[in-house]
Amino acid sequence: MPTPMQPDAVSAFPIMLDLVGQDVLVVGGGEAAAAKCRLLAGSGARIRAVDPAPEEALRDLAAAGDIVLAVRRFVPGDLDGVRLCYVALDDEAAASVPVAAARARGVLVNAVDRPGLCDFATPAIVRRGPITIAIATGGAAPALARNLRARIETAVPAGFGALATFCGSWRDRVAAALADRARRRLFWDAALESPAAQAVLDGDAAGGERLMEADLARAAGGLAQGPRGRASLVGAGPGDVGHLTLAAVRAIQTADVILYDKLVGPGVLELARRDAARIDVGKRCGRHSMNQAAINALILRYARAGAHVVRLKGGDPLVFGRGGEEIAALREAGFAVEVIPGVTAALAAAAGLAIPLTHRGLSRSLHFVTAHDRDGGLPEQDWAGLVGLGGTLVVYMGARTLAALTSRLLAAGMAAATPAVAVEHASLPQERRLHGTLADIAARVGAEGGGGPTLVMIGAVVALADVAGDGLRDAA
């Protein structure tokens, strides 16, 4: 005999109602009633509302033609032909009247914020085209349901709606080409992880159609679908995992192989699948565990094996990240490549200090330069030109050559008192800030810097930095 379920194991049974063309009644005239009408708007239902004194929000919905509004008191006849009923009345005794009438007619009813008068609960909903994701807590913790909805909103990109529609448009063609159910299941499992699906997620519906047609032709011909690798150049941001873009998170979570730099912050790699290969290519501060040609070859090796390769770079892949060389190598070899931008270190460092990199009357231009060339020395720049342009100067990889760089700027005419700040480990808990001027910032970094990745900002706007509360992070 089966063991009966314990009471704490019982939960609401979820269903999805098809309300297209069905009548739904909302009793009430306040914001709660309007909110339910807006929630129902995407269901295809015919929405009717009734209240003797409806507020403006409900009247606006009626004026727009979204609902039919009866300005009067509820009567039991309002429930004739109704599939679903919401009651949004402040007074419990008043709410119990339409609830009782609905139950007498067998109409499912929900009284807002009154669980004892509800036949069903309305979950928190995430919509992606034809995809509907519902989260419910049985009324125990509505705030938690809303929190989970926010998490799912970020985890499921909007493109999944387009992907669902795309897959739906191919169902009949796949069924006609692959009569065997097991073969169809295998095909669809592969299709959802294929370049065709990725193209649709990226907004390239035409490309998805071409790739899907080729995949189906191979499957129908009994040919194994050969592996087709691809690569993503992904900006990992300045270090803090919270600065990752949603697109970066998606790429990391779907990668088969991740090639990462030392500048990738802690916690970022934890987003990867457990079975994903993680390879440290260790480029940092002029010390290379692998040169660029070897990195390019490694990306191509895994792409040729059919993997989704993520080249994970600190900051943005196209800001002093040599991403252009990797793009060129992949294109030359015939592989698809996507570039996902990241928050570059300058933006994170400036945000941490509330420094406006451009500011009316102080800085009308912004210049990013590197203080580190291929051989580890200071690259040649038009120093006089940079000084003449004014604006804000942001120096990447500047710790080792900062003395030479500031000397060049001083010689080119930049004022010695120009404010400057060096930020080490921007956005991470160990972030360290050294405030000074063009004349002394190099000496401060040399004497007090910790040797970590350091970015230097120079210009009048640096004087606007919010140093209040810097605490241990401010070494001044």
Q: With 0-12 CB in 10 A as exposed, 13-18 as middle and 19+ as buried, what is 411?
A: exposed
Torsion angle, alpha carbons of 225, 228, 232, 233, to 10: 170
Q: How far is CA 280 from CA 237, 259, 424, in A?
A: 17, 6, 22
Do residues 264 and 283 lie in contact, with contact meaning Cβ atoms separated by under 8 Å?
A: no
Q: Give the residue among 65, 62, 101, 63 at the shortest CA–CA distance from 85.
A: 101
Q: How far is CA 159 from CA 167, 232, 319, 326, 443, in A?
A: 12, 17, 27, 27, 51
Phi/psi at 180 (5° precision):
-80, 125
Q: Indicate which residue of 51, 78, 261, 316 is catalytic.
A: 261
Q: Give the residue among 425, 361, 423 at the shortest CA–CA distance from 394.
A: 423
Helical pair 142-155 and 246-254, crossing angle rounded to 10 deg: 70
- The H or E element spanning position 182 is helix 181-191
- Tokens coding 12: 């609401």
Active-site residue flag, 283: yes
The 82-87 sheet, strands edge to edge? 68-70, 46-50, 23-27, 82-87, 108-111
Active-site residue flag, 261: yes
Q: Indicate which residue of 78, 256, 283, 313 is catalytic.
A: 283
**Which residues belong to the active site?**
261, 283
